Homo-oligomer: A and B are copies of this chain.
Amino acid sequence: MLRGKDILSMVQFSKQELNLIMNTAASYERRVKNNDYIDDMDGQVVACLFFEPSTRTRLSFESAANRLDARVINVIGADSSSTAKGESLEDTIRVVDGYIDVIVIRHSIIGSAQIAADNAVHPVINAGDGSNQHPTQSLVDIYTIRKEKGTLNGHTVTFLGDLKYGRTVHSLGYFMTLYGNKMIFVSPKALCMPEELTADFRSRGADIEETENLEEALAKSDIVYVTRIQKERFADSEEYNRLKGSYIIDRNTIARAKKGITVLHPLPRVDEIATDVDDYEGAAYFRQANNGMYVRMALLSLVSGSV
Q: Which residues of A contact B (CB under 8 A)?
A: 35, 37-38, 42-43, 45, 47, 53-56, 59-60, 62-63, 66-67, 69, 71-73, 75, 79-83, 85-87, 90-92, 94-96, 98-100, 228, 267-270, 275, 286-287, 289-290, 292-293
Chain B contacts for A42, CB-based, 8 A: 37
Complex: how many Å from CA A35 to CA B86?
Answer: 34
Complex: how many Å from CA A60 to CA B96?
Answer: 8
A-B contact pairs, 9 of them (CB 8 A): A37-B42, A37-B43, A59-B75, A59-B99, A63-B73, A82-B267, A85-B228, A87-B268, A91-B268
Given the known interface contacts A43-B37, A55-B75, A55-B82, the answer about A60 and B99 at a Cβ–Cβ threshold of 8 Å is: yes
Assembly stoichiometry (copies): 3
Cβ of B47 and Cβ of A95 under 8 Å apart?
Answer: no
Complex: how many Å from CA A232 to CA B223?
Answer: 55
Chain B contacts for A79, CB-based, 8 A: 53
Chain B contacts for A287, CB-based, 8 A: 98
Chain B contacts for A69, CB-based, 8 A: 43
| A-B residue pairs, 9 tightest by C-beta | A98-B290, A87-B268, A63-B99, A66-B71, A86-B270, A95-B289, A55-B80, A53-B81, A62-B73
